[in-house]
Amino acid sequence: MPMTTTVQISEAKTHLSDLLVRAEGGEDIVIARGNNPIIRLARVVKENDMQLLLAEVRTARQKAVTSTHDEILSWRDEGRR
């Protein structure tokens, strides 16, 4: 779970660039007016995001059927006959 940091509007105005870098790095940034949270800065997950790709690969590997050594050798040699 990402770390959450709450900052006041005045601090967000002063340090917006830093807050954006931190949000891009996965940190959850909440901007508050007084004690009331009003908005959340969070990283946008992109279709080509490496983390998303890794998660998809891990999920696919868990669902995959294990191949035997003989099957792999048979596939390798299939075009050699």
pLDDT at residue 65, rounded to an integer: 85
Quote the CA–CA distance of 61 and 31 in Å, as a whole number.
Answer: 39
Q: Where are the domains of the chain?
A: 4-80
The pTM assigned to this predicted structure is 0.54
pLDDT of amino acid 50: 79
What element of type H or E holds 63?
helix 50-63
What's the confidence (pLDDT) of residue 2?
62
Q: Is 49 helix (H, G, I), strand (E, B) or coil?
A: coil
- Return the pLDDT at 30: 96
- Sites in the chain below the pLDDT cut of 70: 1-2, 47, 81
Cβ burial, residue 29 (10 Å; 0-12/13-18/19+): buried
